[in-house]
Amino acid sequence: MKYQTTIGVTLAFLLAGCNQQQEPAVEQKPVEQSGATLLNFVEHERGVEPYPTRLIVTDNFLRFDDGEGSVDFVLMDRGKNVIYSVTSEEETVMAVHKKQIQIQPPFELELTHKLLDDLGEAPDIEGAQPQHYQFSANGEKCYEVIAVQGLLPRVVTALQEFTDLLASDSKVTFNSLPADLHDACDMSMNTFAAGRHLAFGFPIQEWSDNGSGRALVDFQVQYQPDEALFVLPVDYHQYTVQEFREGKVIRSE
């Protein structure tokens, strides 16, 4: 499998070249067609052991979970523009709806990005060379991404939808944030320019100075998921994030 070898070599090369913790190499041929796509990542957080996450993308849904057998998950209904967070311990489903709200940042955000020419002779993936970008806001470095233009475009679209929805919800509470907590990077990443790096292709690796990050391990196109993965538990208590904010939700002890 020519493409399996190429992608595996590419990611191993990039992870080593960027002086990041090396992860297992991506193994699947990068050709996206109709059907579902399965992606496996390793997530990093400061003070926490790296842990796996799984993403499944279909035409109608996007699901994040911890892998096979997960009972806690995040599910986006792409047609309804709703994200559901399912928690098995409390037997709850919290819904986050897309908001139509326009607000302005409290000060001007100067958003910049820089192409870092440090990948040398990294092999191409699907005819495109991975690129290393650094994203900043008001002169402050926010995060870095290694992206491949043209790789998994349907997944990129779904991720942008997911990010846009969360950003729209963050605008609901933004004005209640104290002024001394207004940070250019946080504001751009979570509210006013969320997912801007996705314009540069699929991110096979991303990380920030706060210790958080994600690296793609492998992916599978033409994946056949169990349809039950996209069904919410019928006996769980359902509420909206707004009801939770208003104190209308009684959490189980």
Q: What does pLDDT average to over the chain?
A: 87
User: Which pLDDT band, with edges at 50, 70 and 90, does 117 fall under?
Assistant: confident
Residues 240, 94 contacting (CB under 8 angstroms): yes
**Rounded distance between C-alpha atoms, residue 51 and residue 62, angstroms:** 20
The yes-or-no verdict on residue 28 having pLDDT over 70 is no
Q: Which of 238, 95, 109, 111 is nearest to 174 (CA)?
A: 109
Tell me the pLDDT tens digit for each residue of 145-163: 999 999 999 999 999 999 9
* Stronger pLDDT, 241 or 8, i.e. the higher one: 241
Q: Could you please state the CATH topology (level 3) that the domain comprising 2-245 is classified under.
A: outer membrane lipoprotein receptor (LolB), chain A (2.50.20)
Res 2 pLDDT > 70? no
Average pLDDT estimate for 61-88 = 97
Check pLDDT > 80 for residue 137. Answer: yes
Calculate the alpha carbon distances from 251 to 91, 238, 240 in Å.
10, 11, 13
- Whole-number pLDDT of residue 21: 38
Instruction: Tell me the average pLDDT across 194-219.
Output: 95
The confidence score (pLDDT) of residue 165 equals 98
Contact criterion met (CB below 8 Å) for 168 and 98: yes
Question: What tokens were used for 183?
Answer: 């940070």
What is the spatial distance between Cα 218 and Cα 238, in angstroms, rounded to a whole number? Answer: 34
Give the residue, 35 or 36, on which the prediction is more confident. Answer: 36
Structure tokens at 166: 């969360």
On the 0-12 / 13-18 / 19+ scale of CB atoms within 10 A, 89 is exposed
**Per-residue pLDDT, 251:** 66
Whether pTM exceeds 0.75: yes
Q: How confident is the model at residue 122 (pLDDT cuts 50, 70, 90)?
A: confident
Angstrom distance (rounded) from CA 5 to CA 33: 20
pLDDT of 183 reads: 95
What confidence score (pLDDT) does residue 3 get?
A: 30
